[in-house]
Chain A
């Protein structure tokens, strides 16, 4: 019985991301594991440590650089790894990404739980988990903040989903696709031993042909242009006055003039 956790690499969250010559650039900032995916990896490893999951496989789709995110997941405790990589996947939208990941989950076989981050910090689409779940025909529980219980033998799970108005508590049968939010756990730092093991681990590479990806599934969404946000106009106006009370009153006047109250 296997658990799959999906991850992608993104520019470090502190990177200065800008548009250069029409392309996205983050200078020499490092690529790191998508921050949301650390929570998914942690939860997968916890399942193995405490809930009787046997194997945790990390799956990433991308290029050579994706291996860094995959190695981070291995160093946190995943057992094995797959990199889905093929030039035909360049510029893939979520239709294609979800098709490739779905085929990888099916090829791995015997998967009871596939874990995803809530979103990627570059594309911010929050779609890949839902669309993989739909393609697999599995129950899909997004925005999971707590796994109350999971019983692999009985094939059941109970979770709390964080939605706009509060927490929805849901029971489901396995297999299931889950996406997680930050509240779910506290991701561990990879240990020295973990990092050493990860650096030696073999990362299996699968192409579109290896996965028998349905060639009629094509990207439909395109991004013809990226651009920077318009620069913020003007400087901050610091309100100064003899007393805090006067400064507060003046600030209130300004905000009323701005018509935001």
Chain B
């Protein structure tokens, strides 16, 4: 067993940021183990993404652009990763803890009879063993998680978005991109992708460096308008509490928390959100938390670093103006 692999996921020919973060971790592990780092990327544009992966730190890449991989489907993707890993026996495989990364590693782990550690926010080597630290109980606790005796299978690991530093790309780095064939023929795949509805023009919550989030305090669907303005000025993503999602003011894919998304931005601005534990579960690892709330007793103040007690309909537009002035917009 030798070699560290990072599974690079893509959508529409573009890699997810968390894949480059995983590659950064992979580089560290590969250096520590004294083994080569390989990026594995499937689907349209994966040859070019393989080259990009080498710029981000991989020694080499494996790519497959077979038509069966044009749109993400679990079976052909996992089958190919599983089959490649069975042949070439990497010691570690890392991916992002995303819908695709988690599914592909999870299914391939069965093919390989491999242990899988999910959602790590830290990882280091202890000898040849990857020692991961993972949030559990919806981020209320942490656990050290490891695969002490992998046997003849790789140690598999997914990492959370924005938990590991983004490596620097260096376009002068070179390496080979090997093209491989798919292992599943179209006739053997039981699913067909018949459409995709892109979420329009939105910054992805899990990738966002800044999130402006609104809760029941926004009072209705229109109440998000001042928050949207602030998002625009900051290049931020728009989040929401469950109460406002349940009220039908904003779609579920904006929900942050235990039954929504887990986010870890540099800055989280909670507007009209009381800060229930279930909401905290999704955002407590934000670097700086700002609260805007008219209730000076709300639980959010226990978590927040900065805040203004007041009506969000006065404070948020004032903040937008103040940022505009300071950022010269």
Tell me the A residues contacting B by CB distance below 8 Å.
11, 13-14, 17-19, 24, 35-36, 93-95, 98, 121-127, 130-131, 133-135, 139-143, 145, 158, 160-173, 181-183, 217, 219-229, 232, 234, 236-240, 244-245, 247-249, 251-256, 258, 260-261
CB of A226 within 8 A of CB of B288, answer no
Tell me the B residues contacting A by CB distance below 8 Å.
11-12, 16, 71-75, 78, 98-100, 102-103, 106-107, 109-111, 113-119, 135-151, 153, 190-199, 204, 206, 209-210, 234, 252-253, 255, 258-260, 266-267, 276-278, 281, 284, 287-288, 290-291, 296, 301-310, 314-315, 318-319, 321-323, 325-327
Chain B residue nearest to A133 in the complex (CB) = B107
CB of B147 within 8 A of CB of A227, answer no
CB of A164 within 8 A of CB of B144, answer no
CB proximity of B14 to chain A, nearest CB, Å:
9
Chain B residue nearest to A140 in the complex (CB) = B74
Are A171 and B191 also in contact (CB < 8 A) when A125-B119, A164-B206, A256-B326 are?
yes
Closest 10 CB pairs of A and B: A220-B115, A248-B318, A169-B195, A130-B106, A134-B110, A260-B267, A183-B252, A260-B266, A248-B322, A225-B144
Distance A198 CA – B43 CA, assembled complex (angstroms): 48
Distance A14 CA – B276 CA, assembled complex (angstroms): 8
Are A164 and B190 also in contact (CB < 8 A) when A94-B106, A169-B195, A221-B116 are?
no
Chain A residue nearest to B12 in the complex (CB) = A165
Are A11 and B110 also in contact (CB < 8 A) when A228-B142, A236-B301, A239-B307 are?
no
CB of B288 within 8 A of CB of A166, answer no
For B281, list chain A residues within 8 Å (CB): 13
Question: Could you show 23 A-B contacts with beta carbons less than 8 Å apart?
Answer: A13-B277, A14-B277, A24-B141, A95-B115, A124-B137, A127-B106, A127-B109, A140-B75, A162-B253, A163-B99, A167-B196, A170-B192, A173-B190, A220-B147, A220-B150, A226-B143, A226-B144, A237-B306, A238-B307, A238-B308, A239-B308, A251-B308, A261-B234
CB of A236 within 8 A of CB of B114, answer no
CB of B145 within 8 A of CB of A221, answer yes
For A236, list chain B residues within 8 Å (CB): 291, 301-302, 304-307
CB of B98 within 8 A of CB of A164, answer yes
Query: A17: which of B16, B141, B196, B284 is its contact (CB, 8 Å)?
Result: B141
CB of A245 within 8 A of CB of B321, answer yes
Distance A215 CA – B154 CA, assembled complex (angstroms): 20
Are A134 and B136 also in contact (CB < 8 A) when A158-B194, A165-B199, A255-B267 are?
no
CB of A127 within 8 A of CB of B197, answer no
CB of A261 within 8 A of CB of B191, answer no
CB proximity of B263 to chain A, nearest CB, Å:
12
Are A239 and B142 also in contact (CB < 8 A) when A95-B113, A162-B253, A256-B326 are?
no
Query: B11: which of A165, A169, A171 is its contact (CB, 8 Å)?
Result: A165
Chain B residue nearest to A256 in the complex (CB) = B326
CB of A226 within 8 A of CB of B141, answer yes
Chain A residue nearest to B304 in the complex (CB) = A236
For B314, list chain A residues within 8 Å (CB): 244
Distance A183 CA – B194 CA, assembled complex (angstroms): 21
Chain B residue nearest to A224 in the complex (CB) = B144
For A219, list chain B residues within 8 Å (CB): 115
CB of A226 within 8 A of CB of B319, answer no
